[in-house]
A = this chain, B = another copy of it.
Amino acid sequence: MAQDIQVHIIARIRSDFPTKFGIPRQSGVVEALRAQIVFEPEYRNPDALRGIEGFSHLWLIWQFSQAVREKWSPTVRPPRLGGNRRVGVFATRSPFRPNAIGLSCVKLEGVELHTPEGSVLTVSGADLMDGTPILDIKPYVPYADCRPDAREGFTGGGWERLLEVDCPPELLPRLPDEKREALLGVLANDPRPSYQSDPERVYGLPFGGYEVKFTVSGHRLRVIEIES
């Protein structure tokens, strides 16, 4: 029998997504999203971050805490394929894998060494649900990590299928300034499950303490309400 390994939760993320609904499918897709990394009490040591400000991007290795399962399935149905084609789990970034470990590249926006919660990192572009446990933080090292020649399989060619977002001008100002662009980015990336296309359906997206209601018809997303 294979051996198990014990790893520690070193930090948790504080993000605008109280549920997984609306979380971009990869990191970096919505750069305007801000999040904070708050260390667990025994890892609150400012020395551990010395020199981190010299790097523009970080890797987060984290636990898909909503996707931990006893059993694993060798295949999954990625949303990018419409949710109906099965692909090997190791050919995907699906949360449902033998170890529910996530990998995200985020931009480092700020380092605060002394807050009431110890050192806090502010990052952008994170695709993590609020409270997600973080297992490791590493600097992004371009010469080893950036492979512009890499060929991607079925994920093919990025996020060309953006939605056009209509948001009535009286609604957006209900959000704090710094969350507006992030919300519009999240919506443009089509937060619906891939296999849904009911133009009558009203979706409710909890985002940063607000509830955002919208409908989608064709390639147009219409925001109909933003409530706190």
Contact = CB atoms under 8 A, between A and B. Distances in A.
B10 A141 contact: no
Nearest to A88: B50
A90 B28 contact: no
B40 A153 contact: no
A74 interface: yes
Interface residues of A, number: 74
Nearest to A142: B150
Contacts of A157: 143
Given A48-B89, A155-B141, A2 B7 contact: no
Interface string A114-155: 000000000000000000010111111111111111111111
Interface of A: 1-10, 26-29, 40-43, 45, 47-57, 59, 61, 63, 74-75, 86-93, 97-99, 101, 103, 105, 133, 135-155, 157-159
Copies of chain A in the complex: 2
B148 A148 contact: yes
Given A57-B150, A152-B139, A7 B7 contact: yes
B10 A57 contact: no
Contact of A139 (B29, B49, B153, B158): B153
A139 to B, nearest CB: 6
A185 to B, nearest CB: 14
